[in-house]
Amino acid sequence: MKSKNMIAAFSLLLFSALNQVALAQTLNDKLNEQVLMVPAGNGVQLETTIFKPAGPGPFPLLIMNHGKSPGNPHFQPRARYPVISKEFVKRGYAVVIPMRTGFAQSGGTYVNAACNMIGNGLSQAEDVRAVLDYVLAQPWADKERIVIAGQSHGGLSTIAFGASNFPGVKGLINFAGGLREKDCQWQSALVDAFGHFGGQTKVPSIWFYGANDAHFNPELAAKMYAAYTAAGAQARLIAYGPFKKDAHSMSSSADGIVIWLPETENFLQSIGMPTAIRDPAIDSAE
């Protein structure tokens, strides 16, 4: 057992070293990309990526929450969402992407809550809150114009955070949100969690689920949406058709822009958030 622990520790150190090398190679100057370690309490710091337009701000904010890959969450790469980030930065937004506790270079250990989807969502929402508190203390952040978004596990985290009705948050974007677990009735637990959060949420949301999503099929997406809205929350479900081999990755693909961007722009306009392009030159940023 001691040998296995030593191997795991060495693997984590090696991953950390390689990740630092990759970090130096991937920072995007055109999007003013930076990576910070944000304190989140209990000595934990969260690896957080920030993209910003040029200038001092204050900028409206998009907090983009990441999904969960199989395996050790500490081996998961730093999330950047370049397609989404570029579209928002060129419209004048600062994009903030926190790696939650136990993921990538963030401290702490991810706690598997099994089928306690409500507890899992609330735990993730605490990290979102910690990073948002930090960001709102910065002079470049607009405290009154905030959108929270997330993909997959990040979508569940977004919906959970939305239930807090945080001041300044105007809307939520759910890209194929949810969480799968083994050896339990995770589908019904997920529906119950969305219903629970829907009963507390006052801010509007827009949801995207594709017909061939390998994680959350249309029937499950419809049940989650029904539970959420029946509980009193305001949401619009965009149940689009098949996307490539798996619609779960639609929002991360450049080919998915034609699906989510027009609907998202309409949603942003409806909640008083900006949509006009401010820097078209960002289209050339990689």
Point out the least confidently predicted range of 92-101, 114-123, 154-163, 274-283: 274-283
Average of per-residue pLDDT across 161-169: 98
Q: What is the mean pLDDT of the chain?
A: 92
What pLDDT score does 21 carry? 47
DSSP letter for each residue of the chain: -HHHHHHHHHHHHHHHHHHHHHHHHH--GGGT-EEEEEE-STT-EEEEEEE--SSS--EEEEEEE----SS-GGGSPPP--HHHHHHHHTTT-EEEEE--TTSTT-SS-----TT-HHHHHHHHHHHHHHHHHHHHTSTTEEEEEEEEEEETHHHHHHHHHHTT--TTEEEEEEES-----SSS-HHHHHHHHHHHHHTT--S-EEEEEETT-SSS-HHHHHHHHHHHHHTT--EEEEEE---TT-GGGGGGSGGGHHHHHHHHHHHHHHTT---S-S-GGGGG--
Enter the tokens of residue 263. Answer: 């609907």
Q: What is the pLDDT of residues 14-68, one digit of tens each?
A: 444 445 544 444 798 889 999 999 999 888 999 999 999 999 999 999 999 999 9
Report the share of the chain in percent with pLDDT over 90.
83
For 252-283, write each residue's pLDDT tens digit: 999 999 999 999 999 999 999 999 999 888 87
Confidence (pTM)? 0.91
Domains of the chain: 29-284 (3.40.50.1820)
Cβ-Cβ contacts under 8 Å for 226 (sequence gap 6 or more) = none
Is 101's pLDDT higher than 90? yes
pLDDT at residue 281, rounded to an integer = 83
